[in-house]
Chain A
Amino acid sequence: MPDRFVPGDPVRAGTCDPTGHTRLPRYVRGAVGQVAEVAGHHPLADDRARGLPGTVQAVYHVRFAAVDLFGAGDHTVTVELWEDYLEPTTDHQDKEAP
C-alpha cells in the first residue's frame, strides 16, 4: 500500500487514548504538525505489544511547533509517528478552531 502522506503534508495526531501500549505520546495528541520525512515502514507498535503481527505501515518524522504543543516556546519537536496515528488536515490554521 502506498504511503498516505508525503513530506510537507500537514497532519493531525490522533486523540484516542488506548488502554494498552501505544507509541503516540500524550503531548502530541490532537496537535497539528508537518510531515518532515518518511522514517521507514514498520508494523504498528500497539499491535505488536498485544502479540498481533500488525500491518506494516509508514512511520513519519512529524515536526510540531512547540507553541502548538505547549502554548509556548520557540523551538520545534520532531516526533516519529505511525501512519495510523495521523489524519490529514486541510489547513494548518484549523488547529485554531474551537
Chain B
Amino acid sequence: MSGDHSSAAIAERVRHVEALLEERGLLDDGEIDRRIDEFLAGGSPANGARITAHAWVDADFRERLLADANAAIRELGLSMAGGLQEQRLKVVANTASEHHVVVCTLCSCYPIALLGPSPAWYKSEAYRSRVVRDPRGVLREFGLELPADTRITVWDASAESRYMVVPRRPEGTEGMSEAELAGLVTRKGLIGTAAV
C-alpha cells in the first residue's frame, strides 16, 4: 500500500544498493544525486504561473495549450522532457461553469518541471482519498467555496500523464502586465485547490 510514506527503511536499502552499484563501477560516485539535482533544476511553480499568465493574455496560445500542452509550453522554453522520457502534459482550464482539481490517488504523480516538488498535503492519504469522493467539501476546507452550480471535474493523475490547471483570471486585472499576472498565480491554483 502506498499510503505509508515513511522513508527510513527504504532509504537505507537505496543507500546500500547505490554503494554496491558504485563499487561495481555501474554508477559514478554521486551520479544519482547529480541526476536528481538535474531533474529538479528549474522545476518551480513560477513555470506554471508563467504558462497561466501567457494563456490569460493570448487566447490563441490558450487554445494550443489545451489542445497539445507539450508543444505549447515549448513556445515558452519549457519542457516535460527532464526525466528519462518526455511525459505527456494535460492542461485544463477553469471557467465560470467548470472547476478542475488534480490528485493522484495511487501515489503522488505531479508535474515537477512546472510546479516544483509537490506539497506534503498532495501526498497525504486524506487528500488522495477524499478529493475524488467529496471535492466540494475538500475545496471548502482549503478555503475555496465554489458556487453550487459550478461543475467539478477531478483528474486522477495516477498513470502516465501529468496535469496542470489554468485558474480563472481574476477580475480587475486588465491593466496588469504578463509578469504581474504571473505573480498572482499560486501553486494551489495550478493544482485546483485555490481560485488563483
A39-73 vs B, CB cutoff 8 Å, 1 = contact: the mask equals: 11010010000000000000101010010011001
Which of these, B88, B106, B134, B154, contacts A23 with CB under 8 Å? B106
Q: A66-B133, A75-B136, A76-B154 are in contact. Are A42 and B105 (CB under 8 A)?
A: no
Q: Are B153 and A75 in contact (CB under 8 A)?
A: yes
Q: Are A75 and B156 in contact (CB under 8 A)?
A: no
Q: Are A75 and B152 in contact (CB under 8 A)?
A: yes
Q: How many residues of A contact B (CB 8 A)?
A: 23
- A-side interface mostly: strand
Which of these, A25, A59, A74, A82, contacts B156 with CB under 8 Å? A25
The chain A residue with its CB closest to the CB of B87 is: A40
Q: Are B160 and A25 in contact (CB under 8 A)?
A: no
Other contacts beyond A42-B160, A75-B154: 20, CB < 8 A: A25-B106, A39-B90, A39-B159, A39-B160, A39-B161, A40-B88, A42-B159, A45-B159, A66-B133, A69-B133, A75-B151, A75-B152, A76-B151, A77-B154, A78-B155, A79-B158, A80-B156, A80-B160, A80-B161, A82-B159
